[in-house]
Structure 1
Amino acid sequence: MGSGIENARKTRQRTKPARPKAMIRRRRLVVGSWIVGTLLVIGGSAAWLGYKATIIKNELSAATGVLPDLKKAIGNNDTNAASKASESLLNHTSAAREAASDPLWKAASALPWFGQNLQAASEVAMTADDVARLAAVPLVNAFKSLDWKTLTPSASGMNLEPLREATPRIQAAAHAVRESTQRLNNIDTENLLPQISGPLTEARVELAGLSKDLNSASSAATLAPAMLGAESPRRYLLLMQNNAESRASGGIPGALAVLSVDKGSLKLDSQTSATALGAFVPPIAIDAEQQSIYTARVGRFMQDVNLTPDFATTARTAQAMWEKSTGERLDGVLSLDPVALSFILDATGPVKVTDPIVQQVGRDLPKELTGKNVVQTLLSDAYAKIEEPKLQDVYFAGAAKEIFGALSSGKSDPKKLMEALTKGVEERRILLWSASEAEQATIGQYSLGGMVSGAAISPAQFGIYFNDGTGAKMDFWMKRTVQVVKDCTRDGYREVTVRVTSTNTAPADAATSLPAYVTGEGVFGVPAGTVQTNVVAYGPVQANIDTVVKDGVKIPFAAQRHSQRGVGTSTIRLAPGESTTLDFNFGHIVQHTHPEIVVTPTVQSVKDVLLAPQVTPCE
């Protein structure tokens, strides 16, 4: 039976018809065609995607190239050029977005690994277009609606209504950029190609900077109308910080005045001196931490309200002192120093001293104050030429009144004035505090608020502040530098050393050649011509100050804390020609970002005080 079955199978195999060769060739041709077609589709798709990628790259590059023209047009107050630049920017970003919205590009974005690169490129293109469409164009339109000359102080005030009307557009632009920044920050760059991750990182940096600027502009546009008296007149205490006698936020607030603002019109009145207010007994209360570091003198004398670098504390205390002395509760506190006044004079042009009394008091001083001579005049020559301290106060008050008169005359160059004020704020020579909690909450987010804690403070901020211990005006002769000389990581914590070098450049015979009011004549125990300074160093939150080294020798120092920041204080004393170096060694730093140094603004330019880091490795 088995052989029968086998024979039947062999018979069927012999009788099965043979497959025609033509059919085999046809099937091979079909399979080949499918393979070739598939390869063509893949190749064509790749070529198409490459074409779209080229468009995205070129259009975004072109958009980047437009930005300098846009910035230049805005800087030159050229609204027509700004409009053309914004239109060009939008054309380029729209083209990039359109290319990234191609159906094939979107489909390929879903592919494993390679797709996430296309997705990231799409996000960059769409973000760029959103920024152009929702921020750049509306901002240029808002810019066109503003007459910057009417926003400059003048005798008739400022037209603040256009700024109020533009505020919603500025706020919307700031919101759009914040959202765009967050969208790019959410992209995981770990597995992206360098061609994608590089531009993405650059876009993040650019957007972060833009977002910061727009947030500042939005806050300024929101606060400015009300604070400039658009709704009702405002009155601010003006502290003129005198850098010839250092205080942590700049200098002793010797001259005081009330700045009245009504619909943008400025007027200086109620001028007096800190000395005239006398001592406050009991002192105005401040928090326990600051009282421990700076003593109750902060609340006892107006001259000492800014021994602390925290301007909010200074301003609240000064406001309380003014109210206790005069019965008037002011709307806020504004602080400037003579260097800031020099910036303003660069915008207003020279100011003539016209008041007969001030002319007589300052008969041996320049008849015209300029950006070049005002610092030397107010911080040095006035003491040499005017012996009586009360008459010095008269001259300072008169000079301030003349400068504010020029500022409110409407003669200032708007662009130069904006640059002057911006520079003053950046160097912390202009500080502001508002008695309104809502306004102060916004001001406190920026360096204008002069805070040592809160949203304005970088996680890696270090502070170096100077408080005069001479009781005189010798700080005009002091030259200082501040520099990071060590920045490394050990056992998971960062270690940073900040070096502070101080030099007394006064003449060798300063004790006799300089006025007694400048040297102090040793009244407070410091020899005439010698300068004594309390140097106060702040570390980041949670950091400690481990040691202080003076000229290579470890020395004792006062270690305290303020708002969770480590604080160290050391006192130096320098005779004419002497120099010394203090190294503040910070440890237990949990932040791993580049150190940011804040210093007391002095007679020197801040850029001359803050030196570039020269870092040595950990031992």
Structure 2
Amino acid sequence: MGILAGAAVGVLLHQVSAVRADLEKAMTLVPELRAELGAGNQDGSNELFAQMQESTSNARATATGPLWKAASAVPVLGANFGAVTEVAVSADDVVDRAVAPLLNQYDSLDWETLSPTDGRIDVAQLEEAAPSIMSAANTVRLSQDRLASIDLTRLLPEVADPIRSATQQLQSVNSALGTASSAAKLMPAMLGADGERNYLLLIQNSAEVRATGGIPGALAMLTVNDGQISLSDQSSAAAIEAFRPALKVDEEQERLYTGRLGTQMQNVNLTPHFPTAAETAKRMWEERHPGKTVDGVLALDPVVLAHLLEATGPVDLADPAVVQLIDGTSLPVSLTKENVVSTLLSDVYREIKEPAAQDAYFAAVAASVFSAFTDGLGDSTQLVQALTTSVQEHRLYLWSSDKGEQDIISSTALAGSVTGPNAGGASFGVYFNDGTGAKMDYYASRTVQLVQTCDPNGYSHYNVQLTVGNTAPQDAATSLPAYVTGAGVYGVEPGHFRTNYVVYGPAQALVESAQINGTAVPFGAGKHGQRPVGTVTLELAPGETAVIDLEFSRVVQDSEPKLQVTPSIQAVRDVVLPAKTSESCE
């Protein structure tokens, strides 16, 4: 009997080594497959996929065999074998039911037709690919759920750490595929396959921050009909006369953000909940443009323009009036990925004094980049990547007045929703609203980090820590234009900037306290869709730095924490720091 037991252990150890090798090989092939697909190498892609398929199939066969199942039943140590089985099954499912059909579709698609050409998008092929994309998205979602359900606290670190990493990777893939699946269902109708559609385009100016990105400075109407795209009615938020009395908005959000939400176009996105901002913007536009119906709202910021310019290459301004406007200034006629953000968020205020002219230049730049995109300039794969990156960074939002379409959008990152399914679990949001009344956020430096502690009752406590700095020059009060500093009109000393930091915690949690530089400070408290909301105001002089801490208690920890922040000119990866966990949670 001892000899048989020893032999079984020997075989099991060999199987452990084999499963690990197969899964590691499959993972190392992923970036190679992505590179081959990007290069359009069909033969190379198919060869790598065959190797990946063989590896995951072998791992699954071993990890679901009788000896492995027996090992899974062993107390304590068995949980590790059971967890690896879940990983092997998930990996094989993803390869067979997600990668395989998508690879077949990739080989058959003409990707050039999926990006605009001569102002038109042909979505017929995307309609054909939709079933495969939706099936793949469902497979990845189920696999992610399977791994997320594993209790990592019962596992050895050597097993838990790779599973945690795999779950995070699947979450990223799930998000991207979910967006692609929704796009496949939505695009034909939203691009006018059933008749003309009109979308209000909001270009958010990050130099004066708002919760979803920045004030909606430049506006335009985007019209689509059977895939043909045109831009018209270019305007600005300043041209939309304020509403007195204010338009009615959701009472819960009005309590948090005041009636200003319904007063001016510049303030519709004081709330981070984009569906509310978009619906309010639609009503404002229609009130001021009788007879013109808005079917949806699209919002983006200058960093999205930079992403697009990376794909299209440099774009020249074509409007003679705008070219004449900047004659004699240092503002560029040719916009590139390197200069577009600094030009729109800083240089234009130094070179052009009139706000209306600044808005005109801003709109002209956005229109020129948009035209380059719709004309099909640049590589189609890069254009798709530019849009995907913009969505992942929460710089691109979409809302539809059609309820059925909006229900689909609401499940994606495009929705910009802070309530609903995407806000479940340990979800946190940190949003910035300017209180300076000027364009000083170009000089703001921010990082955000979650710090978790645990109590014996099974609850988690989270400290949301913001580190904020004012990088403006010491002589900002005199060296920067009054339009940038605000000239003290709203009670903020020139060169300083004041920001309202709005922090959302998970549903049913409590916001307990707030500190600035370790000293307790008053904070606003409220709720939005069962989520606790704490608000702290901070003003900084040039060169100053401060740390804000908001403490949330009674957090039910059923998943890895998620953190969303207002996108700014900083790369999101530089703003959101890795979460930290104290020893009390080990």
TM range, smaller chain: 0.7 to 0.9
Larger Rg: 1
Is 1:415 equivalent to 2:381 in the alignment? yes
3-state SS of paired residue (1:237)? strand
Is 1:273 equivalent to 2:236 in the alignment? yes
Is 1:588 equivalent to 2:554 in the alignment? yes
User: Which one of 19, 36, 48 corresponds to residue 85 of structure 1?
Assistant: 48
| Residue of structure 1 equivalent to 2:36 | 73
Tell me the CA shift for residue 176 of structure 1: 3.8
Q: Does the 8 Å contact 2:273/2:417 carry over to 1?
A: yes
| Residue of structure 2 equivalent to 1:533 | 499
| Residue of structure 2 equivalent to 1:608 | 574
Is 1:452 equivalent to 2:418 in the alignment? yes
| Residue of structure 2 equivalent to 1:331 | 295
Matched letter for residue 555 of structure 2: I
Tell me the CA shift for residue 57 of structure 1: 6.4
Tell me the CA shift for residue 100 of structure 1: 7.8
Deviates more, 1:362-371 or 1:220-229: 220-229
Q: Does the 8 Å contact 2:496/2:540 carry over to 1?
A: yes
Deviation string for 1:434-475 (max 9, x for gaps)?
A: 112122122222222111111122421222211111111122
Deviation string for 1:352-390 (max 9, x for gaps)?
A: 112110011122111211111111111111111111111
Is 1:374 equivalent to 2:337 in the alignment? no
CA distance in 2, matches of 1:216, 1:45: 47
Tell me the CA shift for residue 479 of structure 1: 1.8
3-state SS of paired residue (2:421)? coil
Tell me the CA shift for residue 497 of structure 1: 1.6
| Residue of structure 2 equivalent to 1:226 | 189
Q: Does the 8 Å contact 1:501/1:580 carry over to 2?
A: yes
Tell me the CA shift for residue 211 of structure 1: 4.4
Is 1:309 equivalent to 2:275 in the alignment? no
User: TM-score of the superposition, structure 2-length normalised?
Assistant: 0.88
| Residue of structure 1 equivalent to 2:353 | 387
Tell me the CA shift for residue 495 of structure 1: 1.9
3-state SS of paired residue (1:432)? strand
Q: Please list every run of 5 or more consecutive structure 1 residues that lacks an aligned counterpart in the other structure.
A: 1-37
- The count of aligned residue pairs is 579
Q: Does the 8 Å contact 1:362/1:382 carry over to 2?
A: no
| Residue of structure 2 equivalent to 1:31 | none
User: TM-score of the superposition, structure 1-length normalised?
Assistant: 0.83
Distance 1:511 1:587, change over 3 A: same
Is 1:482 equivalent to 2:448 in the alignment? yes
Is 1:254 equivalent to 2:217 in the alignment? yes
3-state SS of paired residue (2:113)? coil
Distance 1:323 1:345, change over 3 A: same
| Residue of structure 1 equivalent to 2:406 | 440
CA distance in 2, matches of 1:112, 1:604: 47
Is 1:576 equivalent to 2:542 in the alignment? yes
CA distance in 2, matches of 1:455, 1:183: 18
The root-mean-square deviation of aligned C-alpha atoms, in Å, is 3.5
Deviates more, 1:240-249 or 1:40-49: 40-49
User: Which one of 475, 491, 511 corresponds to residue 509 of structure 1?
Assistant: 475
CA distance in 2, matches of 1:566, 1:120: 35
CA distance in 2, matches of 1:202, 1:462: 21
| Residue of structure 2 equivalent to 1:13 | none
Sequence identity percentage: 45
3-state SS of paired residue (1:238)? strand
Matched letter for residue 514 of structure 1: L
Q: Does the 8 Å contact 1:267/1:404 carry over to 2?
A: no
Matched letter for residue 583 of structure 1: D
| Residue of structure 2 equivalent to 1:297 | 260
Distance 1:385 1:147, change over 3 A: same
Deviation string for 1:160-212 (max 9, x for gaps)?
A: 11111111122223334445566777889999999999988877666565545
Give the 5 Å matches for 1:171-182: 171-179=134-142
Tell me the CA shift for residue 419 of structure 1: 2.4
Distance 1:400 1:185, change over 3 A: closer
3-state SS of paired residue (1:149)? helix
Q: Does the 8 Å contact 1:173/1:214 carry over to 2?
A: yes
Tell me the CA shift for residue 122 of structure 1: 7.3
3-state SS of paired residue (1:541)? coil
Q: Does the 8 Å contact 1:543/1:588 carry over to 2?
A: yes
| Residue of structure 2 equivalent to 1:500 | 466
Q: Please list every run of 5 or more consecutive structure 2 residues that lacks an aligned counterpart in the other structure.
A: none
Distance 1:590 1:370, change over 3 A: same
Matched letter for residue 535 of structure 1: Y
Matched letter for residue 414 of structure 2: L
User: Which one of 116, 121, 126 corresponds to residue 153 of structure 1?
Assistant: 116
CA distance in 2, matches of 1:92, 1:54: 13
User: Which one of 375, 397, 404 corresponds to residue 363 of structure 2?
Assistant: 397
3-state SS of paired residue (2:293)? coil
| Residue of structure 2 equivalent to 1:461 | 427
Which protein, 1 or 2, shows the higher relative CO under an 8 Å CA cutoff with sep ≥ 6?
2
